[in-house]
Amino acid sequence: MPSSLWIQKARVIDPAAKRDAVGDVFIKDGVFVASLSAADKKRAKKIDGRGLVACPGLVDIHVHFREPGQTHKETIESGSRAGAAGGFTTVVCMPNTAPVADTAGTIQLIKDSIARTACIKVLPTGCITVGMKGEALAPIGSLKRAGVVAITDDGDCVQSNELMRRALEYARMFDLPVMDHCQDHSMTQGAVMNEGAMSTRLGLRGWPHAAEDLIVSRNVILSTYTGAHVHLQHISSRNSIEIIRRAKSRGIRVTAEATPHHIALTEGSLATYDTNFKMNPPLRTEEDRMAIIDGLRDGTLDILATDHAPHTDYEKDKEFDFAPNGILGLETALPVCLDILVRRSRFKLATVIDLMTRKPANLMKLNAGTLAAGAPADLCLFDPAEIWTYDAKAGFSKSSNSPWHGQKLTGRVKTTVVDGRVVFDRGRIVGR
């Protein structure tokens, strides 16, 4: 493969440099460069970027790749391929595997599989508590030395305020963000969808906003008390957004994310009991959906993240109460966000790209999210106007649980580059 790559005449958007103009992007020996020599230009692989957008590779700090232990749903290899197809070059994996990632040994096992099989950059997180049981702290220092970029118990939110306080104190010492799935379990036993008129009509147990709002408030208080960075995952409640907005106005070290599905869908999607719309936190009301979009607009919510959560068909093909929560997200994130935020909500394209590149990279202190000379040559090239039909069963994930299966989407990734190497091009994975 040529050591040089030349993307020609694309619309180049690099929020880190405030660049948004038609131009060229040059890559040599795995990093971006300001230009290529005449000799290098002759040897370079050339990509016609006319009509396309070239931006930093997308960064997703919330995915589930299920390895080890649940590889019937997804593997690091298949998940990374789905990421590449969606334009993602860096993803951060959650630790709710089997066994859970609460020891240095399990982290090393995951890193070994990443080195062997991943076609994009996959970074591990470690657990806050042993076994994700919320009873005793995991060895946070050992996890840090093993290479985790954050700690989280993800779907098993730590219920003990005292234990969470201690976790934040240790995390601050080790300069690790704590990522928290905000859910008061005492309020959600048996709950499967948003609490309200729709849940009553469908005869399903409701999940109140307060279950999220209480833990968001708890985390704001503990961040104030400890000075630690708490990242609030997949915020869905308009009340939580207001709590976060007030906390940020006081300089509290909290950040927060929104998902493509929570900005695009509401509880009304559950009217047919389709389990591909069942997720945690649940889809909420139109008022919540608009509040999330407003939170992204004014910076209350810092980033977009997919919460890519693969499940097999036979797991999802159950009565609504018994089907697992979660949907795929990597291959559809970009077109869904372009539709909801750019076309419908009048966000600037550069703003949406910023929410999916520079901002998540900076939040996790990753060397990513920019086209600057000398930076790792991670790039996404996409057609913002191409209309295509998403077939989840023909996608790169091992699972197909997507609410967008069979739907027409606008905006499609054409080429994904990692460290100067083309890993996805025109619908296929290129090498490894």
Beta strands in 15-95, from DSSP E residues, in sequence order: 19-28, 31-33, 45-48, 53-56, 58-63, 88-93
Phi, psi of 402 (to 5 degrees): -130, 135
Which among 230, 254, 240, 180 has a CA at the least distance from the CA of 209? 240
Task: Tell me the C-alpha to C-alpha distance, in Å, between residue 221 and each of 7, 224, 250.
Answer: 48, 5, 12
Phi, psi of 352 (to 5 degrees): -65, -40
The 3-state DSSP class for residue 301 equals coil
The 3-state DSSP class for residue 206 equals strand
- The identity of residue 157, as a single letter, is C
Q: Which helix (H) or strand (E) holds 386?
A: strand 379-389
Distance CA 160, CA 219 (A): 11
Task: Tell me the C-alpha to C-alpha distance, in Å, between residue 216 and each of 59, 71, 134, 242, 292.
Answer: 24, 32, 17, 10, 15
Place of tokens 């970027």: 49
The token pair at 267 is: 């509880």
In the residue annotation, 425 being an active-site residue is answered as no
Task: Tell me the C-alpha to C-alpha distance, in Å, between residue 273 and each of 8, 203, 267, 269, 277.
Answer: 47, 11, 11, 8, 8
Q: Which helix (H) or strand (E) holds 170?
A: helix 161-173
- Distance in Å from the first CA to the final CA of the chain: 12
Residue 167: exposed, middle, or buried by beta-carbon count in 10 A (0-12, 13-18, 19+)?
A: buried
> How many other C-beta atoms are found inside a 10 Å radius of the C-beta of residue 38?
7
- Per the document, the length of the chain is 432
Q: What angle do CA 300, 209, 244 make, to 5 degrees?
A: 20
Catalytic residue among 307, 313, 339, 419: 307
120, 91 Cβ separation under 8 angstroms: yes
Which residues carry out catalysis? 307
